[in-house]
Amino acid sequence: MADQKQKPQAETGCPVKHIAFIMDGNGRWAKKRGMPREYGHKFGAEAFKKVMRRCSELGIEAATFYVFSTENWKRPQKEVDSIMKLLDEYLDECQRELEKNDVRFIFLGSKDPFPPSLRRKMEQIEERSRHSKKIVNMALNYGGRDEIVYAANRLLKCGKSKITEADFSSALYTSESPELDMIVRTGGDLRISNFLLWQAAYAELYFTDKLWPDFKEKDVDEAVENFKNRKRRFGGV
Ligand code: IPE
Ligand code: IPE
Ligand code: MG
């Protein structure tokens, strides 16, 4: 029995099956330190790695991270370039550590706008990690509206004349993930910013003022604890 008590939640089952993060506040975090926004993104990437590991340790089946939105391309070129450079570096690291991490990486969003070398790396990572069970979705060039239009076009191509909610869900980028349980947004803003619009239908929302680079393992634990106290009614009583 004593042994069982020490078992991580992973083995006893985490109530959160699918969690998503709007990783906001990198720029403000850097500004507070008198540094350029790029500096915040660098530390934001470190926070992402910590949070990803923690989600896996907790036994969360799928974790989705909002890395770069369809609207983020309108930022100054210098900032976009620095994010792409960080992404490229992360994809290299990810490839090196694929076995160690034992998670399945899926990139949500069209890969078309990315340079061919980045696209190739994303495809290789998806392919090489596809047998792992736990999912990490990286939303890159992702927009909720874009995803809905993408799903509708996929269904049209199948020639269906009538579709169900289940058909629609399975045409989305997140088709491999369980139903979304919770969205965590850092940085203090109370909005969704075009993230997981379809999937958010009954997700619990969790907002914190903490800026993303300050978000740590214990903050994931706090969000999960908070989830346990939510009364989910799904329209019932
Ligand atoms: C989130 O942090 C990262 C991306 C959107 C790429 P921000 O860069 O939006 O940081 P703030 O919100 O300006 O502080
Ligand atoms: C949302 O943050 C996108 C990501 C975290 C990747 P933004 O900073 O782009 O959102 P807004 O502009 O504050 O709504
Ligand atoms: Mg922001």
Question: Residue 179's domain spans which residues?
Answer: 18-226
Answer yes or no: is pLDDT of 6 > 70. Answer: no
pLDDT at 101: 87
Among 72, 167, 194, 221, which one carries the catalytic annotation? 72
User: Which ligand is in closest contact with the Cα of 44?
Assistant: 1
Q: For residue 187, which phi and psi values (nearest 5 degrees)?
A: 95, -5
Rounded to whole angstroms, the Cα distance separating 140 from 187 reads: 19
Q: What is the CATH number of the domain that holds 120?
A: 3.40.1180.10
Q: How far is the CA of 70 from the centre of ligand 3 (A)?
A: 13
Atom of ligand 2 at shortest distance to CA of 193? 14
Total count of residues recorded for the chain:
237
Q: Is residue 235 included in any domain, yes or no?
A: no
Answer yes or no: is pLDDT of 4 > 70. Answer: no
- pLDDT tens, 99-146? 988 999 999 999 999 999 999 999 999 999 999 999 999 999 999 999
pLDDT at 146: 98
Q: Is residue 3 included in any domain, yes or no?
A: no
**Band (216; pLDDT cuts 50, 70, 90):** very high
Q: What is the mean pLDDT of the chain?
A: 95
DSSP category for residue 110: -
| Cβ of 24 less than 6 Å from ligand 1 | yes
pLDDT at 12: 61
Answer yes or no: is pLDDT of 8 > 80. Answer: no
Q: Is residue 231 included in any domain, yes or no?
A: no
Q: Looking at residues 42-60, what average pLDDT do you find? A: 97
Q: Is residue 24 included in any domain, yes or no?
A: yes
Q: How far is the CA of 193 from the centre of ligand 3 (A)?
A: 9
Question: 8-12, 42-46, 197-201: which range is least confident on average?
Answer: 8-12
Q: How far is the CA of 63 from the centre of ligand 1 (A)?
A: 19
Q: Is residue 198 included in any domain, yes or no?
A: yes
Answer yes or no: is pLDDT of 150 > 50. Answer: yes
Q: Are 45 and 65 in contact (CB under 8 A)?
A: no
Q: Which residues surround ligand 3, an ion (CB under 5 A)?
A: 24
Structure tokens at 161: 């004349």
Is there a catalytic annotation at residue 72? yes
CA atoms within 13 A on the CB side of 193: 22
> Edge to edge, what strands does the sheet with 104-108 contain?
104-108, 135-142, 62-69, 18-22, 182-185, 204-207
Q: Are 179 and 18 in contact (CB under 8 A)?
A: yes
Q: 215: part of which helix (H) or strand (E)?
A: none
| Residues within 6 Å of ligand 2 by CB | 22-24, 66-69, 72, 189, 191, 193
- pLDDT tens, 169-213? 999 999 999 999 999 999 999 999 999 999 999 999 999 999 999
Q: Count structural domains, the chain.
A: 1
Q: Is residue 34 included in any domain, yes or no?
A: yes
Answer yes or no: is pLDDT of 1 > 90. Answer: no
Is there a catalytic annotation at residue 92? no
pLDDT at 151: 97
Q: Are 139 and 65 in contact (CB under 8 A)?
A: yes
Q: Is residue 65 included in any domain, yes or no?
A: yes
Rounded to whole angstroms, the Cα distance separating 43 from 113 reads: 25
| Cβ of 177 less than 6 Å from ligand 1 | no
Exposure string over 86-119, b if 16+ CB within 10 A, otherwise e: bbeebbeebeeebeebebbbbbbbbeeebeeebe
Q: Is residue 132 included in any domain, yes or no?
A: yes
